[in-house]
Structure 1
Amino acid sequence: MDAHGGRRGQAERDAMTVEIGYALVSAAFAAAVLFGAVAGPALLFDLPGPLSTVLLRLGLVVAPLVFTARVISVLLRFRWQARPDRTDRTDRTGPDS
């Protein structure tokens, strides 16, 4: 149910589904790119043992954090833009216009 007590329409449900899919795909892409940037050198080059271990572990820690942050930021932005009571100030003109 939405904020007005009624049921969500099919278009609203479809928009939410698309936004969730976008959030997951873009978060997976961002996490993979970051993991490749951080841990890639350890996988591609023959680095000393401790440095290789640190880079791999850092990549394994940072990638899920980026994934989670991306999903949350996309979904919160969608929720903010979908709020019907939000006033859009971009269409207002100032007193000096």
Structure 2
Amino acid sequence: MTSHGGRRGQAERDAITVEIGYALCSAVFAAAVAFGVVAGPALLFDLPAVLERALPPVGAVLAALLFCARVVSVLVRFRRSPQPSRSPQPSRPGQPSQPGRTSPDS
């Protein structure tokens, strides 16, 4: 249900679906980059044993937190963005009422 009590139209449902997909894809990408930056050196280079054991879990925790933060921020921003109204647009004064006709001042 929308805030004005009516049901959501197909365009609104499609917009929500696209926004959720964007939020998830961008969050997965950001989490993968964060994990790679933090845990990558432990996986690629010969580091001290303490770092090799500590960096992958730290990277996983950071990636999970970043994933959640990204999804929430994208969806909250979408919710706060102005939604198009369902009311028909008022006709503009001075515009011709029939196609192909011009107004006197054009």
- 1:92 — aligned with what? none
The equivalent residue for 2:73 is 73
Deviation, structure 1 residue 82: 3.9
Runs of 4+ in 1 over 6 A off after TM superposition: none
What percent of counterpart residues are identical?
69
d(CA) in 2 for partners of 1:80, 1:29: 24
Correspondence 1:79-90 to 2 at 5 A:
79-82=79-82
> 1:28 corresponds to which residue?
28
How many pairs align?
A: 85
What is the match of residue 9 of structure 2?
9
Unaligned runs of 5+ in 1: 86-97
Moved more, 14-23 or 40-49: 40-49
In the alignment, is residue 47 of structure 1 matched against residue 47 of structure 2?
yes
Considering fraction of residues, name the structure with more helix.
1
State the TM-score, normalizing by the size of structure 1. 0.83
Larger relative CO (CA 8 A, sep 6+): 1 or 2?
A: 1
Between structure 1 and structure 2, the one with the greater Rg is: 2
